[in-house]
Amino acid sequence: MGTSDTGRLNAPGLDASLTDWLYSNATRLDTGTDLKGDVVPRMASAGLFRIGVPAALGGSGGDTIDAIASIAAVAERSLTAAFVLWGHRSLIEYLLHSPNAALRERLLPALLVGTLAGASGLSNAMKFLCGIESLQIEAAPESDSAGIWRLNGKMAWVTNLRPERFVVAAAVSYRDGRPSAILAIPNDAPGLTRSADLDLIALRGSNTAALRLENVPADADWLIHPDAQAFVPAVRPAILGLQCGLSIGLARRSLAEARRAAETPRSILGQQVEMCASELATACALLSCGIADGSLRVLPNRLFELRIRMASLVADAVNLELEASGGRGYLRDAELGFDRRWRESALIPIVTPSVVQLKSQLAEQARSAQRNAPDA
């Protein structure tokens, strides 16, 4: 593992005005909804949606690892903004991997400048492919128009549903036995209803809501991929990698705060803080190497283990920040931001694929390998 790989996920410089805005408004983004309309335009102005997108397609070049690094950099300041970036950037990633070039050409320009918000509703698809739940949107052919399908169903949780304009990726099942597919659905599709924002305990400025679909028309023009079973595993390293960006940024920030607070009286914590930071650096290196050489696609268990490891490092880091800050961290007027990070960190283990889901999958695979071992 070269140092260039370990360094790829180091925090890149963020646009100064975005950094200031995030520092000043992280708590408002977490606890209220009044700034939710500004998140996407601010990140678009800072060029964040172009990172890791080829220049030929309007991006600023680089690759998925650069996009992960940008999510980590934002997550150091605000997990709400970073999670919005995750949803938006995931949708862009799906389009980059889509065989439907016309759809990519139609949607990408507006996504890159932030006039269209991108949302990823693929939790259901990921759980479906692991046998945890059935697909929640069904496509039925329209009887009198060939090639038109009507979609019915729901999506319980989707982030970055900007009421102004959004497009969401969703998995749908067909009644006629063809493989389940991944579709893009625009906010103005007839029959699509967005709920009010969900009443979240944190990340309230993230435009997170539910969607209901009643006879929503769809055709091949909106197909991101005709086979979810082929598509999801192919994009999984990028999507989980982008998710790991959330953990990396949040853990780094908590460790930095813990380091600062632990400088003198609580110096006993210093060693634990450095150990946690060093384990995080190792996990970052494994992630960037595994994405760069493709091994995390071929060996998904390693990716799952990394996602579990990073979630656990976030919990350790936030706890170290608490221990190092002591009672000051518990006072609102101390304005340390600890209470926000504590709430933000609750998202990390539950976002799909959740830590429970991944641990269950790994345990099941270990049991089945044991059963199939020659001397079992």
Site for ligand FAD, rule CB under 6 A: 87, 119-123, 132, 157-159, 200, 203, 208, 347, 350-352, 354, 356-357, 360
Q: How far is the CB of 207 from ligand FAD (least distance, A)?
A: 9
Q: Which is nearer to ligand FAD, 159 or 180 (CB)?
A: 159
Joined tokens for residue 96: 């980059």
Q: Give the residue at shortest CB distance from ligand FAD.
A: 123
Q: Which is nearer to ligand FAD, 8 or 309 (CB)?
A: 309
Q: How far is the CB of 355 from ligand FAD (least distance, A)?
A: 7
Q: Which is nearer to ligand FAD, 120 or 288 (CB)?
A: 120
133-159 burial: b if 16+ Cβ within 10 Å, else e: eebbbbbeeeeeeeeebbbbbebeebb
Q: Which is nearer to ligand FAD, 139 or 170 (CB)?
A: 170
Q: How far is the CB of 58 from ligand FAD (least distance, A)?
A: 24
Q: How far is the CB of 350 from ligand FAD (least distance, A)?
A: 5
Q: Which is nearer to ligand FAD, 37 or 270 (CB)?
A: 37
For residue 138, the Cα-to-chain-centroid distance in whole angstroms is 25
Q: How far is the CB of 188 from ligand FAD (least distance, A)?
A: 19
Q: Are 182 and 94 in contact (CB under 8 A)?
A: yes
Q: Which is nearer to ligand FAD, 115 or 352 (CB)?
A: 352
Q: How far is the CB of 117 from ligand FAD (least distance, A)?
A: 11
CA neighbours closer than 13 Å in the CB half-sphere of residue 345: 25
Q: Which is nearer to ligand FAD, 84 or 273 (CB)?
A: 84
240-263 burial: b if 16+ Cβ within 10 Å, else e: bbbbbbbbbbbbbbbbebbbebbe
Q: Which is nearer to ligand FAD, 234 or 350 (CB)?
A: 350
Dist. CA 294–CA 191, nearest whole Å: 40
Dist. CA 151–CA 68, nearest whole Å: 33
Q: Are 84 and 159 in contact (CB under 8 A)?
A: yes
Q: Are 91 and 167 in contact (CB under 8 A)?
A: yes
Q: How far is the CB of 53 from ligand FAD (least distance, A)?
A: 20
CA neighbours closer than 13 Å in the CB half-sphere of residue 24: 8
Q: Which is nearer to ligand FAD, 58 or 233 (CB)?
A: 233
Q: How far is the CB of 361 from ligand FAD (least distance, A)?
A: 7
137-145 LR contacts (CB < 8 Å, sep 24+): 137/170, 137/171, 137/172, 137/173, 137/213, 138/172, 138/173, 138/174, 138/175, 139/172, 139/173, 139/174, 139/175, 139/181, 139/218, 140/175, 141/175, 141/176, 142/217
Instruction: Please give the single-letter amino acid code of residue 321.
Output: E
Dist. CA 360–CA 363, nearest whole Å: 5
Q: How far is the CB of 249 from ligand FAD (least distance, A)?
A: 16
Dist. CA 49–CA 76, nearest whole Å: 18
